[in-house]
Amino acid sequence: MMKKILYIIKTTSTILFWIFWIVSKFDFSPNFNTLDFRNLLVLTLFISGYFYSQIEIKDKDKEIKKLKKKLKKAKNIETNATEKI
């Protein structure tokens, strides 16, 4: 659940940054579109991206451990079957 929330925050920050960047190039709304707000969006993007990647790495490590365990179990079964022959 946290991974999904971080992904949404990261995507929203990216989209908002680009929208505000484009708006700043055309000077549609200079009062609302400030450099500080865009910097805050970039900071939010970096922080959420960092935590998202940490969760992603943790999930991948769990999957790797699970697959190694299955492989070890399969090798043990294969070894036991060849010893019986």
Its pTM stands at 0.67
Give the pLDDT of the chain (85 residues) as one tens digit per residue: 888 898 898 899 889 888 888 887 777 666 655 778 888 888 998 999 899 999 999 999 999 999 999 999 888 887 776 766 5
How far from the centroid of its chain's Cα atoms is residue 26's Cα? Answer: 32
- Cβ atoms of residues 20 and 33 within 8 Å: yes
Instruction: Transcribe 37-79 into DSSP letters.
Output: HHHHHHHHHHHHHHHHHHHHHHHHHHHHHHHHHHHHHHHHHHH
